[in-house]
Structure 1
Amino acid sequence: MSSEVAIKVENLSKCYEIYDQPRDRLKQFLVPRMQGAVRMRRSQFFREFWAVKGVSFEVKKGETVGIVGCNGSGKSTLLQMICGTLNPTTGSVQTHGRIAALLELGSGFDPEFTGRDNVYMNAAVLGLAKEEIDQRFDEIAAFADIGHFIEQPVKSYSSGMVVRLAFAVQAMIDPDIFIVDEALAVGDEKFQRKCFARMEELKSKGTSILFVSHSASSIIELCDRTLFLDHGVRLMYGPAPQAVRAYQKLIYAPEAEYKRLVEQYLAADQSGNAVDTNKLDNAVLRSVETNEPDGDAFDAGLVPETTAIYPTQGAEIKSFSILDAEGRVVNVLQAGKTYQVQVAGHFMEDFNGTYWGLHIRNVSGAVITGQRFPEDGTFFERVKAGSDFNVKFSFQMSLLPGVYFIGGGVWSNQEPSCAHRIMDAIMFRVVPGTKLNSFGYVDLMSGPPEAAVG
């Protein structure tokens, strides 16, 4: 194992035995032994489930690697095998240096012990002497920022307090390898920002980080490379933006398209030298882009699973839709074009001071942009019960390629203030129209960059 490599995973697999009935477990223990004694073919009373199958990759020292994939793709199982808390069925894991891991909320904490006791116990397990813990305790307590609860039993903590203390212990001991499995989603935004800043600090000191998250923006911002898993199999290992884009395309693809994409990703990943990740990922993306429509289109597979419909309080939104220049309903949009988002519905009661709002969110839930009608400070003063509404918001599609969600509502400056609201009502995908010079979420470039060198 090279001195520049912190983690080396080779052909790693984990298989679980699934028994349909409890007695099958006893049969599996007794019958094959009896059959073997008389040289009969051994029976099997379980089904095999491969949570991880044949995964290989390397993480260099000081590198941050993200891991993405749907629920059940093997992310947590892989991390447990790397940490040594789970034995692999086949394959090997080599690590170099002290590992700190935040895998499950409160794992390793004794609920009867105080926060202080758990800090000392967890730090000792990680290899710190009591004198070292004494020197770092104030720093750990300050980072966790749970006040006097540090002296209270952990069983009295909220989930957010548990993750605060757990992260503080693991991150403040300056590990060589730091592994985080989605636990930060529990903390509030202020604490999450502090955690990400600490992870950047650890990275600058040479710590290697493995980071599992469903937040595309966090993966892209934090990670140098990203491992994309699907049903326990590696589909891609390369630059974070490319792997995240491939992941987003896969999870929203119809079943037939899903199978085709998986085959393309696997073929590209296995076709050449696995170290040449840029070549592999670019090949995948080129093959995917050739299947994008030349113009606006409607993809029936783009259906959000995060739609939240608020109670109706005198009005009801019947539909959201995106219209192209010809008035067709579309959800695969071309960068640079203009579209209208139409919100239609019905008033069941009289309203005064009414207005409509619309927002566009990214996959991680951040509001990218929004519009209000009428403009801020003005309202529809009188709306009669029984009236229908049809409001059209115009957008210049300056969003960069990716998947986005549209939601909105009807409000009043009187009670009830929210007549009706739907979150993530519809979703759409933006596909590239030309070569891109921008990155992030919005293309604000008004002309090509200019430079004077020398």
Structure 2
Amino acid sequence: MSSELAIRVANLSKCYQIYDKPRDRLMQMLMRGHKQYFREFWAVRDVSFEIKKGETVGIVGRNGSGKSTLLQMICGTLNQTSGSIETQGRIAALLELGSGFNPEFTGRENVYLNAAVLGLDRHEVDECFSEIVKFSEIGDFIDQPTKTYSSGMLVRLAFSVQAMIEPDILIVDEALAVGDEKFQRKCFSRLEELKNRGTSILFVSHSETQIIELCDHALLIDHGELIMNASPLQIVRSYQRLIYAPEAEQAALLEKYKRNDPLYDSAPSSPTSPTDSFQEASKETAVLNHYDPNLTPETTTIYPEQGARIKRIAIHDCNGDAVNILEPMKKYRIVSEGDFSEDLERLFFGIHIRSISGAVISGQRHPEDGKYIDRSQAGKRFRVEFSFNMNLLPGTYFVGGGVWSENSASCAHRILDAIMFRVQSSGPQNAFGYCNLTASPAVLSIEE
């Protein structure tokens, strides 16, 4: 394996034997393979990829798609049926809540046990023990049996052991979702620090923002197969489109992903395509210098219509004119219009604003969280206006929206990157990031 690689997986597969009745397992042993009493279930099938040293790679997929099985084989806690795995360096893994901990041992004893499994001697653990305890925020509970720990305490201690020893490869399987917001931020800060030091990170998460912001590239896995290996944004978009598609269309969509077809066409395929129809409906007449007709996204992704259709999304200023060149600190409205083709119950509408990288910066829902519109009737039209203050810093942003029904597993309709807008500069900036939250200029005082 090349010295530049941390992990190489080639044609990796894992097959389980499923027995319908306990006696079938005994019969299989007695027949010595002359007759098969089990069904084969391929949790992972023919997966191949490479991860370079210092890369952070996300794995995305539905529950039961084989993500955890894949990680367990890479860690060596599960043997593969076929294929090969090559790794370079020390591997630390946080696979599931409390994995590797003996519930009868104290936190202190489990720290030394886990570190020993990772190849550290007692002297090395002694040197970093206080740092592990401090990071985990366990306090005096470090000398209590871990069976008395809450789920949050378990994951804090487990992550602290794995991350504070500075592994060459760190594998995290959704475990950080258990911790509170403060600890999650500290964990992701530590991940960024490890990445800067050259640690390769393999990261499973259902959070699209975490995948987009943390990962260099990502993998989409479904039914044990590697469907796509692409940029984080493309993987997240493909995954979202898959889970929101009607079940009858999902197989065809997976085949399209395997052929490496583009998620969207940057050039029009036909005058009547859904994307073209939507873009045509969203075109506006130029309003002075505040509308640029060429400011049209090439990444518009339209989900299947399942009871509703969004025909137009636009930004209006206080005069009701459509704009896409926005001024800082002014008030605007994002308007979403469409109609219903089916009777739907318990509805809500939403819009979001994304950065160029695809990270969600802000969004709104109507009605508010926990409330719904009781029902809608086929043939009715809708118009939703979301008001917001333009506190974003100068730059280019993208708007999408959707209609959801709580009683449906899929959205009634959704469009990503429906329109784009630009916030123009108003002069020198003293803020950075995405949002300007400055209330008044900074005040400096220097005392002798």
TM-score when normalising by structure 1: 0.69
Task: Give 1:394's aligned amino acid.
Answer: E
**Aligned position for 2:15:** 15
RMSD over aligned CA atoms reads: 4.0
**Aligned position for 2:362:** 368
Q: Does 1:97 align with 2:72?
A: no
- CA shift, 1:117, in A, is 1.1
For residues 288 and 256 of structure 1, what CA distance do their matches in structure 2 show? 27
For residues 410 and 31 of structure 2, what CA distance do their matches in structure 1 show? 55
- CA shift, 1:445, in A, is 1.3
- Equivalent residue of 1:400, what SS? strand
Contact kept, 8 Å, 1:177 with 1:209, in 2: the verdict is yes
Within a 5 Å distance, the mapping from 1:222-241 to structure 2 comes to 222-241=214-233
Contact kept, 8 Å, 1:115 with 1:153, in 2: the verdict is yes
**Aligned position for 1:266:** 258
Q: Which one of the candidate residues 385, 393, 397 is aligned to 1:394?
A: 385
Contact kept, 8 Å, 1:334 with 1:432, in 2: the verdict is no
**Aligned position for 2:335:** 338
Within a 5 Å distance, the mapping from 1:253-332 to structure 2 comes to 253-268=245-260, 283-286=262-265, 292-296=274-278, 299-301=304-306, 329-331=308-310
For residues 141 and 267 of structure 2, what CA distance do their matches in structure 1 show? 52
- Equivalent residue of 1:295, what SS? helix
> Using a 3 Å threshold, how does the CA distance of structure 1 residues 288 and 25 change in structure 2: closer, same or farther?
farther
Q: Does 1:57 align with 2:54?
A: no
Structure 1: which 5+ residue stretches go unaligned? 34-41, 269-280, 303-328, 343-356, 374-390, 408-420, 435-442
- Equivalent residue of 2:46, what SS? strand
Q: Does 1:106 align with 2:98?
A: yes
Task: Give 1:330's aligned amino acid.
Answer: R
**Aligned position for 1:25:** 25
For residues 162 and 119 of structure 1, what CA distance do their matches in structure 2 show? 11
Task: Give 2:385's aligned amino acid.
Answer: S
- Equivalent residue of 2:309, what SS? coil
Q: State the aligned residue count.
A: 355
**Aligned position for 1:174:** 166
Q: Which one of the candidate residues 397, 400, 415 is aligned to 1:430?
A: 415
**Aligned position for 1:318:** none
Contact kept, 8 Å, 2:13 with 2:80, in 1: the verdict is yes
- Equivalent residue of 1:174, what SS? coil
> 1:247-279, CA deviations, whole angstroms, 9 ceiling, x for partnerless residues?
1111111133212211111122xxxxxxxxxxx
> Using a 3 Å threshold, how does the CA distance of structure 1 residues 194 and 396 change in structure 2: closer, same or farther?
same
- CA shift, 1:370, in A, is 3.3
Give the percent of matched residue pairs that are identical in Structure 1 and Structure 2. Answer: 56
- CA shift, 1:152, in A, is 1.1
Structure 2: which 5+ residue stretches go unaligned? 279-301, 316-333, 340-347, 368-381, 389-395, 428-448
Within a 5 Å distance, the mapping from 1:171-210 to structure 2 comes to 171-210=163-202
- CA shift, 1:431, in A, is 3.9
Task: Give 2:192's aligned amino acid.
Answer: E
Task: Give 2:364's aligned amino acid.
Answer: G
For residues 248 and 228 of structure 1, what CA distance do their matches in structure 2 show? 11
TM-score when normalising by structure 2: 0.70
Contact kept, 8 Å, 1:360 with 1:405, in 2: the verdict is no
Contact kept, 8 Å, 1:181 with 1:213, in 2: the verdict is yes
> Using a 3 Å threshold, how does the CA distance of structure 1 residues 294 and 372 change in structure 2: closer, same or farther?
closer
